[in-house]
Amino acid sequence: MTKLTICWSEQKEVERMPAGRHSHKIREYKRRIDAVLETERERRRPLSPPPPPVSEEHAALRKQIAEFYRTLLDDPENPEGTERMESFEERIDKNPELCNVAAKLIALRRQERELLAKKGEDYRPYESYQLE
């Protein structure tokens, strides 16, 4: 009888989930899986549109930043968009002027953050740049 109970206890650990027959562990695993899936859904959720600009100066700055993004990321030879990062790097290799556009873009984004800091606004909701 003792050998049989040893065999049974070894076999019961070989189930679908590592918890074996312990339902409280299975529920714990399912909760953890659901939490990971929920964070992944949140991460993949589309961005909401940015709030309206805080001033005329900020609106002009945002429009200029969006234009620089369009210049930097839009490729007239590739209407499918920036699906391949190699094409973007190749464009920079072919056209060194794009490096200057990227540097100006970084400077404008810093200027926007400084402007928002002066106004007491948080810059994070304004991270999305869209042309109307």
Q: Where are the domains of the chain?
A: 2-44, 56-126
Q: Give the span between the Cα atoms of 53 and 81, in whole angstroms.
A: 27
Q: What would the pLDDT profile of 36-95 be if each residue is shown by its tens digit?
A: 999 999 888 877 778 888 899 999 999 999 888 888 777 555 545 555 555 667 777 888
For residue 42, the Cα-to-chain-centroid distance in whole angstroms is 10
pLDDT, tens digit (0-9, with 9 covering 90-100), for 80-112: 555 555 566 777 788 888 888 888 999 999 999
In three-state form (DSSP H/G/I as H, E/B as E, the rest C), the secondary structure along 65-83 is: HHHHHHHHHCCCCCCCCCC
Q: How far is CA 122 from CA 10, 18, 48, 62, 114, in A?
A: 58, 45, 16, 15, 10
Q: What tokens appear for 124 in the block? A: 């994070």
